[in-house]
Amino acid sequence: MSFSNDVRTEIAKSIIDRDRQFACLYGVLLYCRTFTAEQIVLQSESDVYAKLIPSLFQSVFHWKLLPDARTAGRDNNSAVVSFRITDPEQIGQICSTYHIHPEKREIRLSNLVNNSLSSFLAGVYFGCGSVMDPNKEYHLEFNTPSELLCSDLQKLLRSIGVSGGCILRKNMYVLYLKDSEHIEDTLTYMGAQQCTIELMNIKIRKDMRNKANRVRNCDEANINKVVSAAMRQTEDIRWIMKCGRMETLSPELRELAQLRLENPELSLKELGELLSVPLGRSGVNHRFQKIAAIAEELRSHAVHSE
């Protein structure tokens, strides 16, 4: 089962009284893709949705003849459940009850009573919403059928402190959320508290993995720096030896040079601990700088002599 369907399952359990059912069905109907004076079509791939819709119509309208559910397959082996309403009397009752104008659908807050706004948003999610698996990406979106409905929904989400962007995709106005905290707030508001907790746990696990990766990458970078520095230092020392100038080095530099040749894998700090008079990292680095300067001078003389 997908995370998006887990959200549907959880919020469906919160639609328990008639006010919530009324608001939820309003959200489903208002944001469905097809709503005209001739027909209303409600579609979803969710089994939860397929079970919820008849119960909502029964609670709100008490129809003897409920919309029939029809199932059709898709190329990706998923099944789409459709509820089609073509009876003019039923469509008229829906429009009258919810004050919906098919040619200009917009949110009417007067339809929402007794703090049922959260159930309305749940209905909108049932009708046109989806959320990505947070293990892959933080993304929640609503595929709204018009620019006006997209704008209305954007304003509604702002009223609960949630910001989202809008884009036009395949003739649908998509309102999307990318911020994980805004997605958490939206899920919680709709009634999917357990899914919110799961998303937060996933964030914690991903953050821990990212920190572990950063530490590992940092360790690898430090190792590479140590190896590169050791190779440069060894090259300098061998050049000084090739030029027959080791004996001209001070005893401190000769000791360090010998230790480097014998221990190419050690860090500056570790080399400093092996000196007859232990020295810190910066002190060891300063001595290697002197060795590098001597080697560079000898290279320069070699070039000029050629």
| Residue 107, pLDDT score | 94
Tell me the per-residue pLDDT of 183-205, one tens digit each, with 9 for 90 and over. 999 999 999 999 999 999 999 88
| Residue 304, pLDDT score | 61
Scored b (16 or more CB within 10 A) or e, 22-39 reads bbbbbbbbbbbeebeeee
Q: Are residues 174 and 226 in the same domain?
A: no
Is pLDDT above 90 for 215? no
Kindly state whether residue 135 falls inside one of the protein's structural domains: yes
- Report the alpha-carbon distance of residue 100 to residue 31 in Å, rounded: 11
Q: Are residues 175 and 218 in the same domain?
A: no
Q: Are residues 17 and 130 in the same domain?
A: yes
64/306: higher pLDDT: 64
Number of domains in the chain: 2
Q: Are residues 21 and 169 in the same domain?
A: yes
Kindly state whether residue 16 falls inside one of the protein's structural domains: yes
Give the lowest-confidence range in 81-85, 173-177, 264-268, 300-304: 300-304
C-alpha 233 chain-centroid distance? 45
Kindly state whether residue 201 falls inside one of the protein's structural domains: no
Which residue range forms the structural domain that includes residue 259? 213-305
CATH classification of the domain holding 26: 3.10.28.10
Q: Are residues 185 and 60 in the same domain?
A: yes
Cα distances (Å, whole numbers) of residue 248 to 153, 236, 245: 81, 14, 5
Kindly state whether residue 155 falls inside one of the protein's structural domains: yes
Last residue of a domain, one of 139, 161, 191: 191
Q: Are residues 272 and 141 in the same domain?
A: no
Q: Are residues 241 and 119 in the same domain?
A: no
Locate the DSSP E strands across 56-170: 69-73, 79-85, 129-131, 140-144, 165-169
Q: Are residues 157 and 229 in the same domain?
A: no
pTM of the model: 0.70
Last residue of a domain, one of 160, 191, 222: 191
User: Phi, psi at residue 140, to the nearest 5°?
Assistant: -125, 140
